[in-house]
Amino acid sequence: MRKAQTKRRISRRVNFNRSGKSMSTPEDDDLPPSKRLDRLLLSENRIQEVTTEEAGEEADEGDYETEESVEEEQSNPYDVHGWMGKLKITPALYSTLPILKDDLKTETSVKQDAVAELCRQLMSGEEREIHDLNSHGIPRLQRQKHIKFMHKSLGTYPPAYQAMDASRPWILYWALAGLAHMGEDVSIYRDRCIQTFTPLQNKDGGFGGGHGQTSHGAATYAATLSLALVNGLELIDRRSMWQWLGSLKQPSGGFAMAVDGEVDVRGAYCSMVVVSLLNLPLELPPDAPARKAGLTSFLDRLGEWVGRCQTFEGGIGGAPDNEAHGAYAFCGLACLSIIDAPHRSIPQNLNVDRLVHWLVSRQPAPEGGFSGRTNKLVDACYSHWVGGCWALLEAAIYGPGDDQNRKTLWNREALVRYTLCCSQTKQGGLRDKPGTRQDGYHTNYSLAGLSAAQNHWRYHESLVSEPEDMTNLPTPFQWTGHLATEEERGWWAFDKEDLVGLVHPIFVMPPQVVDRCRKQFSGIVGF
């Protein structure tokens, strides 16, 4: 039977409040902005869509199509872009630019507009660098190419990389961790890692970035995690490490990055990761300078010091009175989650509501990735530094246990789309943003962030309970990870083949590596 050639309105109007009347009531003025917004959204006096019937005769003839053509369009759920073939229609959040913009132009705002447009084109499918698409119409995770890129990163480097000599432990960690996130066996690099790190370990404790260099908290963190990944932690002199970390403890409660070095939240996180992974004594060494101020433990005044790093914006700075920064937010939250259960230590030391507000503000659209600071561009490394905060914050807010009814606090789908559409390169490896080159740093932290978007973590009060399994700091080992369900994969726009392995929310390594470290040093008293 032939379809009737009836006409139907296919566009929608937006009705603005042009009456000049206030859309709030006097009692609204006493409410905080978020509450006023909630009330406004429930009000009839708001910007709202007008249905076909309400539009009536105001519609123009040009806004109509025949019913037959509409039905044809609706029967095809794909958006065709010529040579790109059939693509699933991208949600408007990721395919349109923001409607509201500041008229003030700065160097940063011009760059922001350019990056947002590049991301919009890649998100919508108008431009495409990778043509191997998943069932949601976006690029698949180029697993084998990324693995090949990271293996190559563990090879030889040209002379220009001499400038990176002090980052030697980091170069190894980024590649080893990235491979581990993808399920690769990195034990094949064990002997080479031990050969590399042996001369970097100083007799007074800790690791330098290169041969003969002073021990540094960042280099020590990267070296410790690298050795953990290849099962080579026996290389570390635990006693000298304890002595050296004691020399970094400050009377304020924080940690320096090196002897007489800068004191910031990186030092607190890096130091406590090493203390907990190696199960070092919590008591400060007898000659630790902080003892003169009455401190006796690595934990003394630490939570309070991290709390002082929170800024008026709600984020966490590198030190008290510093600008809020995404990486420092992760370091602060992870440090607090090491010293005690997150649902106790985080609310006790931080304003959680303000921190959540600041963190969600770091995820712009249409990009979908995260920026590290206010008025800064999206950067794939913050897929971890900010994306990794959410498991810790959700544990702080919801408490321990496996409650399956928890609501996620952030846009997981947006980060998945940014990583797969904008951060991947067709050669292999992941990059900061479109228009930049791939590197080991962004590859590792993009994959860690993708794992955070795809999977769940839950904190448990008594996961480790047997005396022989106990460590001096049990809380960071009491997490369980859960892979996304098939339904969640549909919500968040990725297939099973795009799945990245579980990445521990504190140690940024696979959970089986963390568990191996715990078992290696559990039950040890002293050295």
* Token couple for 359: 């963190």
- Tell me the C-alpha distance between 287 and 93, whole Å: 57
Give the position of tokens 């563990």.
Answer: 154
- Which residues does 432 contact at the CB level (< 8 Å), separation at least 6? 379, 380, 381, 423, 442
DSSP assignment of 204-254:
TSSBBSSTTPPB-HHHHHHHHHHHHHTT-GGGS-HHHHHHHHHHHB-TTS-
131 given a catalytic annotation: no
Annotated catalytic residue, options 270, 381, 389, 422: 381
- Give the three-state DSSP class for 2: coil
Report the 10 Å Cβ neighbour count for 257.
21
- Tell me the C-alpha distance between 394 and 396, whole Å: 5
Annotated catalytic residue, options 373, 456, 458, 504: 373
C-alpha closest to that of 229 among 174, 154, 148, 165: 174
173 given a catalytic annotation: no
How many separate helices (H) and strands (E) can be counted in the chain? 21, 8
The 8-class DSSP code of residue 323 comes to P
Annotated catalytic residue, options 382, 418, 441, 445: 382
Annotated catalytic residue, options 140, 249, 325, 384: 325
- Which residues does 221 contact at the CB level (< 8 Å), separation at least 6? 269, 270, 273, 274
Annotated catalytic residue, options 442, 456, 504, 518: 442
Burial of 446 per CB tally in 10 Å (0-12, 13-18, 19+): buried
The 8-class DSSP code of residue 310 comes to B
433 given a catalytic annotation: no
* Token couple for 387: 């994306």
81 given a catalytic annotation: no
Contact (CB, 8 A) for 272 and 299: no
445 given a catalytic annotation: no
Contact (CB, 8 A) for 513 and 502: no
Q: Which long-range contacts (CB under 8 A, 24 or more apart) does 319-324 make?
A: 319/254, 319/262, 319/263, 319/264, 319/265, 322/264, 323/373, 324/358, 324/373, 324/374
Annotated catalytic residue, options 146, 432, 458, 504: 432
Give the position of tokens 């790109």.
Answer: 84
382 given a catalytic annotation: yes
* Token couple for 316: 């966490």
- Give the three-state DSSP class for 452: helix
Secondary structure of 265-286 in HEC code, one letter for each residue: HHHHHHHHHHHHHCCCCCECCC
Phi, psi at residue 218, to the nearest 5°? -70, -45
- Which residues does 66 contact at the CB level (< 8 Å), separation at least 6? 5, 6, 7, 8
- Tell me the C-alpha distance between 446 and 379, whole Å: 9
376 given a catalytic annotation: yes
Annotated catalytic residue, options 204, 237, 340, 439: 439
Annotated catalytic residue, options 173, 309, 343, 379: 379
Tell me the catalytic residues.
325, 373, 376, 379, 381-382, 432, 439, 442
